[in-house]
């Protein structure tokens, strides 16, 4: 048996509003739209991962989602332009990532990160 993928599901009263947030912040493509559910994604392939946490690190709360990007500073600037609620400010962490947290329109806490070189 092997896991082919793990999909994050976000409950939303307004699917279009939350779709616009994730599409604009992360440049995601629309892969499927059935009205009540949309699936966003990219052509990139990533390893399947599931993190189990007792805390978010550095005293931060446990995020609902973690999104690794190639340029966290660019996404941080985009989030600021979009007026996103920055919950945990951009910083380098001792375990080798640069990250920040935002809240999506549903209140989900998103850890946005890049690994430090």
Q: Is 111 helix (H, G, I), strand (E, B) or coil?
A: strand
Q: Give domain status of residue 10, yes or no.
A: no
Q: What angle is formed at CA 85 by the lines to CA 5 and CA 108, rounded to 5 degrees?
A: 35
83-94: b (≥16 Cβ within 10 Å) or e: ebeeebebeeee
Count how many domains the chain has.
1
Structure tokens belonging to residue 34:
């059935």
Per-residue pLDDT of the chain (117 residues; tens, 9 = 90+): 989 889 999 999 999 999 999 999 999 999 999 999 999 999 998 899 999 999 999 999 999 999 999 999 999 999 999 999 999 999 999 999 999 999 999 999 999 999 998
- Here the CATH number for the domain that contains residue 96 is 3.10.180.10
* Domain presence at residue 2: no
| Segments forming the whole domain that contains residue 89 | 15-43+61-115
């Amino acid at each position: 048996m092997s896991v082919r993928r793990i999909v994050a599901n976000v409950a939303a009263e307004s699917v279009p509003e939350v779709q616009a947030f994730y599409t604009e912040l992360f440049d995601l493509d629309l892969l499927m739209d059935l009205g009540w559910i949309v699936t966003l994604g990219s052509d990139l392939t990533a390893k399947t991962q599931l993190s189990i946490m007792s805390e978010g690190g550095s005293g931060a709360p446990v995020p609902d989602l973690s999104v690794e990007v190639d340029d966290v500073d660019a996404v941080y600037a985009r989030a600021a332009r979009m007026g996103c609620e920055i919950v945990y400010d951009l910083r380098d962490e001792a375990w080798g990532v640069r990250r920040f947290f935002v809240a999506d329109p549903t209140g989900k806490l998103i850890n946005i990160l890049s690994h430090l070189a």
